Amino acid sequence: MKQRYVTVLCFSVLLPIILTGQTVNAQPANSIQILNLMPLPQSITTDTGILVIDARFYAGFDGTHDSRLNAALDRLLHRLDRECGGIRRAQYEGGASAANVLLLKVAGPGGVVQGVDEDESYSLTITAQLAVLDAATDVGAIHGMETFLQLITTSNGECHLPAVTINDAPRFPWRGFMLDVSRHFEPVDVIKRTIDGMAIAKLNVFHWHLSDDQGFRAESKKFPRFTEAASGGMFYTQDQMREVVAYARARGIRVVPEFDMPGHTSSWLLAYPEIGAGEDIRALPTVFGIPQAELDPSNEKTFKFLDTFVGEMSEIFPDAYFHIGGDETAGKGWIENPRIAEFMKKQSLKTPADLQAYFNRRLLPILAKHGKKMMGWDEILNPELPRDIVIQSWRGEASLSQSAEQGFTGILSAPYYLDAQKTSAEMYLADPVPANTKLTADQQKLILGGEVCMWAEQIDPETVDSRVWPRTLAIAERFWSAQSDRNVEDMYRRLRVASLELEDAGLTHISGPERLRRNLWGSANPEVLEVMASVVEPVSFSDRYQGQHTDALSSLDRLVDAVVPDPPARVEIAREVNEVLAHPDSDDATAAELELRGRFAAWQRVSPELEAAALRSPRLSDLEMMAKQLGALGTMGLEALADLHLRTRAQAGWKDAQIATIEAAGKPSGLVRFVFLPAMRKLVEAAAMAPN
């Protein structure tokens, strides 16, 4: 029999494990762990029974709908057909005795331009007879459709969904993903599949970093030299940008364009030196970093230019916000230019930061004239700016808290820089408003959410997906789900499932690196390389930047590009080691030990072949040191397991030798690093302590 409980949104205590009839928030309880939802909804009530999706199944609207919602339902049915077969189109257009149907009840389309205050909530009720998706807006319904698809499982040649009631809404209204397309360009296809991934992750802001020193990527008809002189031919036409905006809107996603100024503007000044502070830019810089190139705030022409440009871009990007960048403007060029120095004196602007604040104050009415609010990085924070600008914090939580204390709205990005190559777990646990925040309730409301950031110095169209996904899903859950949802193990379990869903939707984060590895290895079956690749990850942006000064011309097709951040083996090996150590006598430990033994033996086995390949081929030379170390680590693991298993104490000096090997292996080589060393250390230490 069906039971309902009152939904507890901010629930944070473990509920007893009951398989059905249980309302919980998203905290770990086995009743939820059988589902694979990501991000976790605010509440789920499970019930007995399943809704079968077979040839009789259809879908339609109970009430009116607009073309956006109709297209969204078509996409849902296409995906359903792919998974389950035999389903083609919505047929339902009303009726009382509904069965075998997904009914959409949507009150209205929502904002003509989607706003920060869009109602994104939905509820989804599935019984053995039908599924009902209720939402106030198209955007809520679009989120609910993703949840519906994630509930599908198959058995007996049929698709079905469990009987559940889900009530859901996002914790934060601003759940963004920033993509830099200046350092390396990404074609429209990549943008679209990124937006597809965002829709699955229930993210709602695509922040498009369209200009930077290395290239200006947005076509301007008023200022054609931007792309003629400063894009290397790689830019988006106005039609393409409109297409992306429409594509995003169809998926409940806003597009916020960023044109970074007054610094990071080499590309601007290559095209239009007349609005610059005087630096002589002859070419797009190929070396990354912060070149000296600033707009000239002392020149009225600059603001006239920006007025025209912002006006033109505002026609293309309907969002309420316009991101002006504003980061990392050292202002050296300002100080060095006597005319600008004189201007600063006259205006009583003591520092470049003061001049930048002046620049922003002048920009503000220009944005307002074109219907836009200002958004920018930490550096734009200035008491003289209105409080409804959005501060995007790349400096961290403390910086964001300070801006909230001053009454500014803001979003957090610092912990979500994907090129830092942190684990999904680490980014998942970083919270825009952590439980221990010192902000008042009103100040907390000023934190609108966060944005994942993908800077593009070290990515290209072939590698972008594997840097972005699946880790971005974990962060997206942080932005959507309850603060108390912090079960890392369950997050990883669901991440594995959602990751496959993303590949199926067109992302290439699994297949892309596989392809690169095949090309590196030069054989149809790079099985040997796979063993290595599964246990290493790229070093961080800064380690790579220092280790190999990759510039804009380097091809990104080495081992580091062909391996993925936070590969599943990290979590798996840690779990296996924990099981072996925690329950030495149980069956679980036996299974885990067998797994580990298989891994270690494989490392031993492939090590000589990897080393030989590294010595033979220049393209694989990055592998050499790691190949040797992998073999030694495999031997170490087998010895440790044997010691544990036989309950013998390892020989004197064994432990110290192993720890030294582990520490040596901890230094990255070939721009990659092993992901299992803490677990190996734990295993070695336990083995060294094993009783006689």
Active site residues: 328
Contact 447, 393 (CB under 8 A): no
The residue type found at 118 is E
Report the residue number, 204 or 499, with the smaller CB distance to its own copies: 499
By CB under 8 A, tell whether 238 contacts its own copies.
no
> CA 13, CA 28: separation in Å to the nearest integer?
9
Confirm or reject binding of residue 458 to its own copies (CB under 8 A). Answer: no
Of residues 91 and 555, the one with the C-beta less far from its own copies = 555
598 binds its own copies, rule: CB under 8 A: no
Q: Residue 236: left (phi > 0), alpha (psi -120 to 50), or beta?
A: beta
| Residue 515 interacts with its own copies (CB under 8 A): yes or no | yes
C-beta closer to its own copies: residue 514 or 588: 514
In angstroms, what is the minimal distance from the CB of 537 to its own copies? Answer: 16
CB of 184 to its own copies, least distance (A): 16
Instruction: Please pick, from the candidates 14, 368, 500, 591, the single residue that binds its own copies as defined by CB under 8 A.
Output: 500
Nearer to its own copies, 63 or 522 (CB): 522
Residue 34 CB, nearest distance to its own copies (Å)?
16
As separate numbers, helices (DSSP H) first and strands (DSSP E) second, the chain gives 26, 19
Least distance between its own copies and beta carbon 634 (Å)? 20
Side-chain half-sphere CA neighbours of 11 within 13 A: 19
**Distance set, CA 230 to CA 273, 313, 550 (Å):** 12, 17, 20
Both tokens of 382, joined, read 């200035």
Q: Please, what is the minimum distance in Å from the beta carbon of residue 556 to its own copies?
A: 11
**What whole-number distance in Å separates Cα of residue 24 and Cα of residue 6?**
9
Stretch that binds its own copies, among 218-226, 258-266, 439-447, 514-522 (CB under 8 A): 514-522
Judged by CB, which is closer to its own copies: 57, or 358? Answer: 57
Which of 66, 189, 300, 328 contacts its own copies by CB under 8 A? 189
Cα angle at 200 between 194 and 203, to 5 degrees? 75
286 binds its own copies (CB under 8 A): no
Residue type, 264: H
- Which of 518, 575, 645, 681 contacts its own copies by CB under 8 A? 518
CA 539/CA 619 separation, integer angstroms? 18
Considering only the stretches 311-319, 441-449, 450-458, 502-510, report the one whose residues sit in contact with its own copies under the rule CB under 8 A. 502-510
Binding mask 66-105 for its own copies (x = CB under 8 A): ------------x--xxxxxx-------------------
Q: Which stretch binds its own copies (CB under 8 A): 30-38, 165-173, 423-431, 510-518?
A: 510-518
Binding segment toward its own copies, per CB under 8 A, in 120-128, 310-318, 392-400, 521-529: 521-529
Phi, psi of 596 (to 5 degrees): -60, -45
Per CB under 8 A, the list member of 30, 48, 154, 648 interacting with its own copies is 154
234: left (phi over 0), alpha (psi -120 to 50) or beta: beta
Task: State phi, psi for 305 to the nearest 5 degrees.
Answer: -60, -50
Report the residue from 74, 312, 426, 557 that binds its own copies according to the rule CB under 8 A.
557
> What is the C-alpha radius of gyration for the chain, rounded to an integer number of angstroms?
27
256 DSSP 8-state letter:
E
Binding its own copies (rule: CB under 8 A), the pick from 94, 115, 386, 522 is: 522
Residue 16 in 3-state DSSP? Answer: coil
Q: Which is nearer to its own copies, 429 or 505 (CB)?
A: 505
DSSP state of 44: E
Helix (H, G, I), strand (E, B) or coil at 453: strand
Taking CB under 8 A as the rule, does residue 504 contact its own copies?
yes
- Contact region for its own copies (CB under 8 A) — 69-77, 293-301, 408-416, 515-523? 515-523
Work out how close the CB of 424 gets to its own copies at its nearest, in angstroms, rounded to a whole number: 15
Q: Which is nearer to its own copies, 106 or 159 (CB)?
A: 159
**Are 466 and 513 spatial neighbours (Cβ–Cβ below 8 Å)?**
yes
Site pattern 604..643 for its own copies (x: CB under 8 A): ----------xxxxxx-x----------------------
DSSP state of 690: -
Q: Within 10 A of 239 (CB to CB), how many other CB atoms are there?
A: 11
Instruction: Specify the residue, 236 or 394, whose C-beta has the smaller distance to its own copies.
Output: 236
Q: How far apart are alpha carbons 362 and 366 in whole angstroms?
A: 7
Q: How many Å separate Cα 125 from the centre of its chain?
A: 29
What does each C-alpha distance from 292 to 269, 305, 328, 479, 618 come to in angstroms? 11, 21, 10, 36, 36
Residue from 123, 472, 499, 661 binding its own copies (CB under 8 A): 499
Nearer to its own copies, 2 or 88 (CB): 88
User: Which listed range, 267-275, 413-421, 478-486, 507-515, lies at the site for its own copies (CB under 8 A)?
Assistant: 507-515
**Phi, psi for residue 31 in degrees, rounded to 5:** -60, -25
From candidates 354, 514, 595, 609, binder to its own copies by CB under 8 A: 514
> Is there binding between residue 414 and its own copies (CB under 8 A)?
no
Residues in binding contact with its own copies, number by CB under 8 A: 40
Least spacing, CB of residue 353 vs its own copies, in Å: 40
- Integer angstrom CA distances of residue 30 from 23, 35, 93, 225, 230: 12, 9, 38, 59, 55
CB 360 within 8 A of CB 383: no
CB of 613 to its own copies, least distance (A): 9
Rounded distance between C-alpha atoms, residue 478 and residue 432, angstroms = 9
Instruction: List the structure tokens of 61.
Output: 């609207």
Closest separation between CB of residue 192 and its own copies, Å?
A: 11
Task: Decide: is 157 part of the binding site for its own copies (CB under 8 A).
Answer: yes
Q: Does 159 bind its own copies (CB under 8 A)?
A: yes
> Which region holds residue 31: left if phi is over 0, alpha if psi is between -120 and 50, else beta?
alpha
The Cα 161–Cα 152 span in angstroms is 5
Q: Which helix (H) or strand (E) holds 178?
A: strand 174-180
> How far does CA 201 lie from the centroid of its chain?
9
Q: Does 511 bind its own copies (CB under 8 A)?
A: yes
How near is the Cβ of 619 to its own copies at its closest, in Å?
A: 6
Q: Which is nearer to its own copies, 54 or 426 (CB)?
A: 54
The distance of closest approach from Cβ of residue 460 to its own copies in the complex, given in angstroms and rounded to an integer, is: 12
Query: Residue 410: exposed, middle, or buried by beta-carbon count in 10 A (0-12, 13-18, 19+)?
Result: buried
Q: Which residues bind its own copies (CB under 8 A)?
A: 78, 81-86, 154-159, 187, 189, 496, 499-500, 503-504, 508, 510-511, 514-515, 518-519, 522-524, 555, 557, 568, 614-619, 621
